[in-house]
Amino acid sequence: MALLPILRFPDPRLRKVAVPVNKIDNGIKKLAADMAETMYEAPGIGLAATQVDVHQRVVVIDISEEKNDLLVLINPEITEMDGLAIGEEGCLSVPGIYDKVERAEQVAVRYLDLDGQQRVLKADGLLAVCIQHELDHLNGKVFVDHLSQMKQGRIKTKLAKQARVTA
């Protein structure tokens, strides 16, 4: 396994729409394992392939405290959304920035697992938010897109300043 570099907002590669995975082979399985290792190391609770500059529809999520409940979603598609929840979100591609985002409270997602089996998962709470957040990445969106233009401008300025300080 290997740690992968995480793209940082406003990198234009974060805007690429991911393409479906045609075949779940050893390359996809290695990608999922590397993404999981990267997510745990960051540390985070979700990571989309787009964030590591791989533009295929693969997501890893683990919201467990013990970091032992990895969920790999290949070609995920939200089939149902219900309710409304507003919660604070952050993102590994937008380090140090947190803000309130409106999401569906409950979702159902259809996806393939690493064995190529089609699955449906119904989720609520943090898992539902995480699924929506990561699928946004696969569609070329970042959580700050849900914020006002003014907030987006402030975030870009703050991240540019951080980049200059650490460079």
Sketch out the chain's domains with CATH numbers: 12-166 (3.90.45.10)
Annotation marks residue 89 as catalytic = no
pTM equals: 0.95
Say yes or no to pLDDT of 167 above 80. Answer: no
What sign for the dihedral angle of Cα 147, 150, 151, 156?
positive
Q: Which pLDDT score, from 0 to 100, does residue 70 have? A: 98
CA distance 163 to 65: 30
Who wins on pLDDT, 153 or 132? 132
- Region 111-129: mean pLDDT is 98
pLDDT tens column, 26-58: 999 999 999 999 999 999 999 999 999 999 999
Which residue in the list 37, 41, 89, 134 is annotated as catalytic? 134
Q: Which pLDDT score, from 0 to 100, does residue 39 have? A: 98
CA distance 77 to 73: 9
